[in-house]
Amino acid sequence: MNRNILTVAIIVLVVFLVIMTKNNPQVRRPSSNPLIVEFNEVHEFAKLRPGHIERATKYVLELSDQILAEIIAVPDGERTFENIMVATDDIYAVIESVWSPGYLMGSTHTNEKIRDEGLESSRQIQKYITDISLNEELYNAVIAYSRSKGAHQLTGYKKKFLDDALLNYKRSGFGLPKEKREKVKEIFNELADFGLAFRKNISDFSDTLFVTEEEIKGLPENYKKERLQENGSYAIDMSYPSYRPFMKYSESDETRKNLKFKYNNRAVETNLDVLNNIIRKRRELVEVLGYETYAEYRTEDRMAKNPQNVWDFENDLKNKLRAKGEMDVAEMLAIKSKRIGQKAITIQSWEAGFYENLVLKEKFDLDPEEVRQYFEFNNVTDGLFIVYQKLFNITFKQVENPSVWHEDVLMYEVYDNVIGELIGRFYLDMFPRANKYGHAAAFSVTMGKMTGEGYTKPTTALVCNFPKPTEYQPSLLTHDNVNTYFHEFGHLVHGVLTKSALMGYAGTSVARDFVEAPSQMLENWVWQKESLALFAKHFETGAIIPDELLDKMLAAKNVNSGTKALQQVYYGILDFTLHDGFNPDGDQTTTDIVSKLQNEITLYPYQEGTHMEAAFGHLQGYGAAYYGYKWSEVYAQDMFSIFEEIGIMNEELGMRYRKIILEKGGTEDPLSLVKEFLGREPNSDAFLRSMGLE
């Protein structure tokens, strides 16, 4: 596009008026495209066909080019926060309007062509965003504005947005010679390709272990019925609902060992090389940008600020958890010794879930299968809805006959009870199917933002893989499933309840090492009698979970809390080790690091011949940032301590949490938000108590 044509441009941009104008003479709006919707209208996902995502992507990138040209064309002396900074945010909002739903479809749609198109769209968009972040003319416009009188008078989220933009430019290589900036752009694009390949190789991988009647002994009858083959064997695939119960209940040590071996070798043929390339490119990136390591680069704009703070945090946690972890292993070893008739000295990684389950049974007389009877999916959903609606003064209304991408998907509207208006929407896609995203996550569909037409109503999709109802029984969740449900729904409401004027700060657009804290805080409701009484009902009789069973659950809460937390520390240290000096072309391989760290940290010996890093998807998305799970949990438990003091269903406190933590998103520094909510400096006391360490 010739930017001279746009010299006489609109000074104050209201981008969505431009976006949704069908007769725009410069950018032709696709007709009947489910991803291109009118302001605050819903997507017609059921009408999505191959080609739609591709055309929608082309359209929004052309619109983004137009907005970019208009920003650049603003004359000296006429630059304002609105026509430079808000307009820049508008670019990303235009892109996000297709990127988010397209990426969701790439992860969940049943049509392979549409899935591939969604991933290809994401690849194109990431490259486009890289181009935008390295656009010298846009940079010059922002720099020129930053030197203006108006910029120096900014306060609040506006000042933060400009400061963050300037830091991001530094992190993108501005201030470097042009040839180095071009190199940065090239590396970012290559990283986008490698990242998508890494994820696709994991999602496309499939493997099955066929086991005998003897090898499946210990598993529930319904589990066996669902996997029984015509020849009498049983098919155990690598999905969570298949893998996890087998590792917990199968009485065959050898078969669990074989399944663990398969599970920890997912995507090994493809992803070891891809991971090495990702690490190489990240090393190359920071060398050009002038950082010592990728870990230094990643922590600079986060709560941690620098790698040393992360190392101090992880090592301190590792040391504090060691004693509890050793106590956990000792409990399992006592049971193993009794079971095998001789003194056992080691719990192998494929034995951990099995013996943890026996500890629950023998020491606490707690049978997870009995617990599942009280967590039928629909009852849990009803109870979760009660908790979230009461705490945050909102109402969920199910949409009848929604236009969705699969028949299992449900859709809801969210109403604010104070103003009585629709403020957002969400989808629930809760059961596994072939080629669907295999874990649990909240996916943005539409992000909040103030526009000339009003506030964009945020929409989020919750994608999980809970046991699907069968002809034999309804969907019965483990307590871990319930915990996951509450956690991921916490991300969902963080996105839906946002009030940020800028999309760049909307919902979960916060520092990555804080993003888990709001949802981790909300996990605590699955451990409280008051909230459990709302939904923990026997799936056949409807009886509320008895106090005796609840007391056992609460008493057993910290069974293996040390070993589980050490596993998280191991993941965090593994991730950080690979990004804070490790050279994939040096003497050690990624598997050498895995073996060394697992043996040093987890108390479970490394299983020879396995390469778990090949399917550890967080190494791509959370590179040098996995530490954030435990980092944010410290703040999460500290915030929950206030609910413990005042009342877990206290509506006034719930609204305080909504207003301070959820609505503000990234508009303020997360540490400031936590301090405001707590009314004091944060500390780790509540976190240590939650682990059974104090």
Q: Identify the CA nearest to 522 among candidates 639, 393, 676.
A: 639
pLDDT at 203 over 90: no
Res 448: pLDDT: 98
User: Residue 215 is encoded by which pair of tokens?
Assistant: 């090898």
* Secondary structure of residue 443 in the 3-state scheme: strand
Percentage of the chain with pLDDT > 70? 96
- Mean pLDDT over residues 48-62, rounded? 97
Who has greater pLDDT, 189 or 501?
Answer: 501
- 434-493: per-residue pLDDT in tens? 999 988 999 999 999 999 999 999 999 999 999 999 888 899 999 999 999 999 999 999
Res 134: pLDDT: 85
Do residues 566 and 318 lie in contact, with contact meaning Cβ atoms separated by under 8 Å?
A: yes
Domain ranges of the chain: 3-133+135-171, 206-263, 377-559+660-690
3-133+135-171 CATH, one of 1.10.287.1080, 1.20.1050.40, 1.10.8.60, 1.10.260.40: 1.20.1050.40
Name which CATH class applies to 377-559+660-690.
alpha beta
Mean pLDDT, the chain, rounded, equals: 93
Q: What is the CA radius of gyration of the chain?
A: 26
Three-class secondary structure assignment of 5-46: HHCCCCCCCCHHHHHCCCCCCCCCCCCCCCCCCCCCCCCCHH
Confidence of residue 694 (pLDDT cuts 50, 70, 90): low
Contacts of 352 (CB under 8 A, 6+ apart): 332, 560, 563, 604
Res 240: pLDDT: 86
- 158-167: per-residue pLDDT in tens? 999 999 999 9
Confidence of residue 8 (pLDDT cuts 50, 70, 90): very low
Q: Which residues participate in catalysis according to the annotation?
A: 488
- Mean pLDDT over residues 198-203, rounded? 92
Confidence of residue 342 (pLDDT cuts 50, 70, 90): very high
Q: Cβ of 679: how many Cβ atoms within 10 Å?
A: 8
Res 2: pLDDT: 38
Q: Identify the CA nearest to 536 among candidates 468, 477, 463, 485.
A: 477
pLDDT at 18 over 60: no
- Gap between the Cα atoms of 651 and 421, Å rounded: 19
- 543-570: per-residue pLDDT in tens? 999 999 999 998 888 999 999 999 999 9
Res 3: pLDDT: 34
pLDDT at 23 over 60: no
- Mean pLDDT over residues 233-255, rounded? 95
- 501-519: per-residue pLDDT in tens? 999 999 999 998 999 999 9
User: Residue 374 is encoded by which pair of tokens?
Assistant: 């009280």
- Gap between the Cα atoms of 479 and 487, Å rounded: 12
pLDDT at 588 over 60: yes
* Maximum distance among all Cα pairs of the chain, rounded to whole angstroms: 87
Q: Cβ of 41: how many Cβ atoms within 10 Å?
A: 10
Res 472: pLDDT: 83
Q: How many CA atoms lie within 13 A of 665 on its CB side?
A: 27
Res 684: pLDDT: 87
- Gap between the Cα atoms of 488 and 60, Å rounded: 29
Confidence of residue 366 (pLDDT cuts 50, 70, 90): confident
Res 22: pLDDT: 38
Strand partners, 459: 425, 446
Confidence of residue 368 (pLDDT cuts 50, 70, 90): confident
Percentage of the chain with pLDDT > 90? 86
